[in-house]
Amino acid sequence: MPPTRGRPIALKLLVLLLVPLTSLVGLWAFAASLTGGDGLRLLQINELVTNLSDPAEQINVQLQNERLASVEYLTSRQGRQRLTTQRALTDRTVATFRQLAGRERGLSPQMATQLTGLYGELGKLDKLRRRVDGSDAAPLQVIDGYSRIVDAAFRMLDAMVLVPEQSLYRQARAVTMLGEAKDILSRERAVIVVVLARGRITKAEREAFIGMVATRRLLYTEALSHLDGKLRGPYDKLVASPAYQEFVQAEDAIRGQAATNGLPASAATWPVDGANLWAATERDHSQAVQGFVRRVTPAANGILTKIGVAGGAGLLAVVASILLSLRFRRRLGEELAGLRDAATELAEVRLAGLVKRLRAGGGDPTPEELAPLEVKAETAEVRDIVTAFNSVQRTAVEAAVDQARLRHGVSHVFVNLARRNQTLLHRQLIQLDSMERHTEQPEILADLFKLDHLTTRMRRHAESLIILSDQAPGRGWRNPVPLMDVLRAAVAEVEEYPRVEVLQPPQVSVLGGAVTDVAHLVAELVENATLFSPPQTRVDVRSTITPHGVTVEIEDRGLGLARAELDQLNARLEEVPEFDLAQSDRLGLFVVSRLAARQGIRVRLGASPYGGLTAMVALPASILSGRPAMADH
């Protein structure tokens, strides 16, 4: 239908969302493009330093110490305890590194590749140690083995340099180069140990040492050219110190041609010179790293300040947007809330009560039940929804009335047909009974008994139609009937009654007003048991006294049912569902639930130990007569 006059809800929503969305998208896009990437890099740097950089640096320190101890042991076969202790320290450091590195997620492809390479080199550490413990390892090969592991760690550290600011990047790269120069110094100390132990230097060792010296001095020169005054100051002092100059002289002496003809007298002080320079280098490198970290923090604060400014501006825009949209939201919310309350009251109170009353046989709808919804609204769409709800209400009421009339009509048809059949079947049973009394031929008498049994079953089916129509069958008893007779009568109404065995029940009777319903209920359950079990099996009917009455158990030996289907059937038996014409295959369950609700009987289906089902019928004491007291336990 065409929309009524008023403001469209689409326009209100557009005004409500346009300003905040435009403000947020514009401001936050600017903030993200300006500082978001740098902020993420800084956060990543902090995490990488904690989980990768610091543990990797500790690995390098321990490997450098282990390299020196391994060469000393290899050349002199002394210091085994020191080497074992150092190896244990290295293993703990490597384990810590693996644990912390395992927490990292989302590494860049370059970082992941370098980390995998470092893992591979660390995996070769055990093989390298076995060579040291053996007798065929060359000292220079051992030095190279440890150096490859340390180089892999430095390649990983190079890939971690993600500082967004260019000046800080140069400082970070210079600090990393100084760390590599420190490792070269460690390698030189190891070569010096080999040279002193042998008393001379071989050509291969001399060439390797010359390369180490050249690399170390180049790294120093390159790194110091990038460092500014504060970070470079300690290194300038170190280069000018006597310890550095003495070690440089040792380097020159080993590189010199005269070293091939023997070691000079000053060679005895080379290990001391190396140890002094190593201690000073470690101190200065640690200070340089700490100084660089202190510089990263102000840079991070600056970026975070930018983010805060952009966020504050965005917050102001959001507040303005909220204040502007609240004016529209309140009115729209009141209209929608009124519509919701009216629709809820219509669906859960008025229509539900009307349907319930019509099912119970009530008259036509009252004016109050047909009153249209009244919602105060200025929005066109809300008005249209109210009109649509009123149309739905009229259609629903008409459908409920028609359905109620149809149900009552079907129910009356069931009752009329069943009553007529019941009368004819009753007369047929009387006629059959008379014929049975006047017949003495066994063949004819057997046929009459079969007809009598079929007629009894037909009478039960006719009574089922009456029960489904919420009516009571015509037949009944004034006096109590023994439970044994009631069970036998129920079994007699089942087609395959020879398969049913009724065990001796307790000496109790069923009140006359409940005899028909109890017999009909048991007959329906027994018939189900015979229909859904193999024809060669038996159906047992047992009865026991309980504190609240008598329980009748009907047990078959069929295939049983799945737990879900069994629970669904028990739920139907408990809640007395309304009869649904579309579920005629479950006709017996509807009849049983109606009868059980009428007499206060509880029926439940369960699994049988023989593989089939057991229907448990709890007859309450209110419909029993002459119930004996239970024996004391």
How many domains does one find in the chain? 3
Taking the C-alpha atoms of residue 109 and residue 115, their distance in angstroms, rounded to an integer, is 10
- Final residue in a domain of this structure, among 283, 315, 347: 315
The model's confidence at residue 3, banded by pLDDT at 50, 70 and 90, is very low
pLDDT at residue 407, as a whole number: 57
Tokens 């009229």 found at: 394
Q: Which of 412-416, 519-523, 561-565 has the lowest mean pLDDT?
A: 412-416
pLDDT at 517 over 70: yes
The answer to whether residues 515 and 479 touch, using CB atoms and an 8 Å cutoff, is no
Find how far residue 525's CA is from the centre of its chain. 44
Report which DSSP code applies to 53. I
Tell me, what's the pLDDT at 550? 92
Give the integer Cα–Cα distance in Å for 425 and 18. Answer: 79
For every residue of 580-596, which 3-state class applies, written as one string? CHHHHHHHHHHHHHHHH
Residue 519 belongs to a domain: yes
Among 410-414, 438-442, 455-459, 530-534, the range with the most confident prediction by mean pLDDT is 530-534
Most confident by average pLDDT, 181-190, 355-364, 402-411, 450-459: 181-190
Say if residue 259's pLDDT is above 90: no
Query: Helices 483-492 and 512-531 sit at what angle, rounded to 10 degrees?
Result: 40
Other CB atoms within 10 Å distance of the CB of residue 110? 13
Looking at residue 198, its pLDDT comes to: 80
* pLDDT tens digit sequence for 299-311: 656 665 666 666 6
Residue 551: pLDDT band (50, 70, 90) is very high
Domain membership flag for residue 181? yes
Cβ atoms within 10 Å, residue 36: 17
Find tokens 């919310």 and name the residue. Answer: 333
Residues 449 and 592 in one domain: no
For residues 549-569, b (16+ Cβ closer than 10 Å) or e, as one string? bbebbbbbbbebbeeeebeeb
Range of the domain at 213: 10-315
Other Cβ atoms closer than 10 A to 237: 12
Q: Say yes or no: 503 and 459 in one domain.
A: no
Please report the pLDDT score of residue 88 as a whole number.
93
Backbone angles phi, psi at 531, to 5 degrees: -70, -35
* Residue 11 pLDDT: 61
Of residues 553 and 176, more confidently modeled = 553
Task: Check pLDDT > 90 for residue 141.
Answer: no
Q: Would you give the distance in Å from CA 306 to the centre of its chain?
A: 39
What mean pLDDT is predicted for residues 249-261? 70
**Are 43 and 191 in the same domain?**
yes
pLDDT higher than threshold 80 for residue 346 = no
Q: Would residue 331 count as lying in a domain?
A: no
pLDDT (tens digit per residue) in 263-298 = 776 777 888 888 888 888 878 777 776 666 666 666
- 616 within some domain: yes
Domain check: are 72 and 158 in the same one? yes
Q: What percent of the chain stands above pLDDT 70?
A: 63
Query: Is residue 446, in this structure, part of any structural domain at all?
Result: yes
Give the end of a domain, one of 426, 456, 475.
Answer: 475
Show the tokens assigned to 336: 């929608």
Predicted local confidence at residue 2, as pLDDT: 44
- Residue 337 in any domain: the answer is no
The amino acid that residue 395 corresponds to is T
pLDDT value for 343: 75
Write out pLDDT tens, residues 45-86.
666 766 777 788 888 888 888 888 888 888 888 888 998 999
d(CA 194, CA 196): 6
Are residues 115 and 245 located together in one domain of the fold? yes
Judgement on whether residues 287 and 374 belong to the same structural domain of the protein:
no
Q: What is the pLDDT of residue 257?
A: 52
Same domain? For 521 and 418 the reply is no
Q: Please provide the average confidence, as pLDDT, over all residues in the chain.
A: 75
15 within some domain: yes
Do residues 481 and 433 share a domain?
Answer: no
CATH number assigned to the domain comprising residue 517 = 3.30.565.10
Q: What is the DSSP string of 345-392?
A: HIIIIIHHHHHHHHHTT--SPPHHHHPPP-----BHHHHHHHHHHHHH
> In this predicted model, which residue has the larger pLDDT, 580 or 612?
612
**Is residue 629 pLDDT above 50, yes or no?**
no
Contacting residues for 211 by C-beta, under 8 A, at least 6 apart: none
Q: Are residues 377 and 505 in the same domain?
A: no
| pLDDT for residue 599 is more than 50 | yes
As a whole number of angstroms, the distance between CA 429 and CA 451 comes to 9
Phi then psi for residue 380, to 5 deg, are: -60, -45
What's the number of CA atoms in the CB half-sphere (13 Å) around residue 326?
6
Residues 432 and 538 in one domain: no
Structure tokens at 580: 């649904």
Report, as an integer, the average pLDDT of 573-583: 61
> In 3-state terms, what secondary structure has residue 482?
strand
Long-range Cβ contacts of 368-375 (<8 Å, 24+ apart): 369/397, 370/394, 370/397, 373/339, 373/342, 373/343, 373/346, 374/342, 375/335, 375/338, 375/339, 375/342
Rounded distance between C-alpha atoms, residue 462 and residue 456, angstroms: 10
In a domain, 180, yes or no: yes
Write the DSSP string, 193-216: HHHHHHTS--HHHHHHHHHHHHHH
3-state secondary structure of 555: strand
Statement to judge: residues 276 and 388 lie in one domain: no
User: Comparing 499 with 342, which gets the higher pLDDT?
Assistant: 499
**624-625 sheet: strands from edge to edge:** 481-482, 509-510, 624-625
Give pLDDT, residue 114.
Answer: 85
Q: Which of 8-17, 84-93, 152-161 has the lowest mean pLDDT?
A: 8-17
pLDDT of residue 81: 92
The DSSP secondary-structure symbol of 496 reads T
How confident is the model over 208-234, as pLDDT tens digits?
888 888 888 888 888 888 777 777 777
Please say if the pLDDT value at position 104 is more than 70.
yes
Kindly state whether residues 368 and 499 are assigned to the same domain.
no
Q: What is the DSSP letter of 440?
A: -
